[in-house]
Chains A and B, each alone.
Chain A
Amino acid sequence: MTHHTHKDYAGAKLGMWLFLFTELLLFGGLFLLYAVYLKRYPQEFTAAGREMHVVFGTANTAILITSSLLAAMAVTAIQRDQRRQTLWFLGGTVLCAIIFLTNKFFEWSAEIGHGFYPNSPRLATAPPGESTFFSLYYLTVGLHGLHVLIGASLLTWVAVKVKRGSVHGGDFVLLENGALYWHLVDLIWIFIFPLYYLIL
């Protein structure tokens, strides 16, 4: 072989985009169920939707959008080879993720405290559609929360690599892909938020 080994940037990003499609489809199954059950139980979904805490949801939306902005800024910073700023922006992104999950913890605690959780005695006596709503809510938001956790861990790992210098201005596809993943996490939330908090 005559030519030397080099990274295929376009290939790495193509692979990442394909992976992001699979993530969208994974959530797609849950959105599909939401659509079908909303059609079947419009009143029950509305009733259950009133129990959501819009303040928590809005705050978390703002936090995630901010974190996405920070992730994008981290990419711009590394393109300019500004390592310190990249680390600050990545730190900010991960901090936002932690605040998001903390909020989520308190929100879920409050809802579970009110007796809204799958298989709960309160939902057993409620009309059937409400139980469906809450099951879907916990599964979708739980799966999304898991993705927040994975994304934050991924970005932390990338940050360590930036600090060590193995991800730098000349080779940053890992950071770019990490940021892409983070934008996906954000994007999915942008769909979850109106469906569960706003339109009902």
Chain B
Amino acid sequence: MEKSAVFKGKLLPYLLLVPQLVITLVFFYWPASQAVWQSFLREDAFGLNSEFIGLENYQALLAQPEYYKAMATTVVFSSLVAALSLSIALLFATQADKNLKAAPTFKVMMIWPYAVAPAVAGVLWLFIFHPSLGTMARPLRMMGFNWNPMLNGNHAMALVVMAAVWKQIAYNFLFFLAGLQAIPRSVLEAGAIDGAGPYRRFWTITFPLLSPTTFFLLVVNVVYVFFDTFGIIDAVTGGGPAGATTTMVYKVYADGRLGGDLGGSAAQSVILMVIVIVLTAIQFRYVERKVQY
């Protein structure tokens, strides 16, 4: 798409672009290239000397069992959060799509958690499920369940998943509802005339027609879990216990800050960049052309 009517100016367009280009170059390209460069260096603890060591940082990283553990944690965490938040949001969206009088009220009530900061969401859930003072911890213990996310890795994972899902439902709900409302009623009526009940209509008509939305949301959710959940993890578990909730992004942070291993941290950043670029490319390639119609 191009405009046919344009202005001629020679200098003006560059002046208009300067603010954004300067900020992008200084705060985006410069640090990103630094990350790539640093991943080939070894720095001493004070950052005074650095030597070029080629791919050693990557080799060291890929020899670390902790790195594979962080990868596995990331996969488990993202699949749980994406699967749960997508299916729960779809359930609520299909209900809100029915002609209910109170549908607009329900809509507002469902979407506001989008505005809650991930770290704040984490603190809220930590408070409810805190082993010693949480409102839900006592009932769990009375049922004979030894709930302790501070010591048990699976419990900690369950807690961060709950907080992450809780926050993401709003977003998915909104997009599913928009997707549902875009489905022509006539198609559903045709299905009904052919004798398909609501359940069958959903799985044979609505769900396939919703697949572009679902696919788009799947990619967005994976990106969300990768990056935006940092606040939840830091606030709730700090990556623990024993690394049970250390995702790849959290490890970049922890290794660089707490471990002081900047080269290794940079190598992890580069790997993450590649993953994000692939995800974004998939999103653009397939979402643009719509999965099924």
The answer to whether A and B belong to the same complex is no
Chain A contact residues, CB within 8 Å of chain B = none
Chain B contact residues, CB within 8 Å of chain A = none
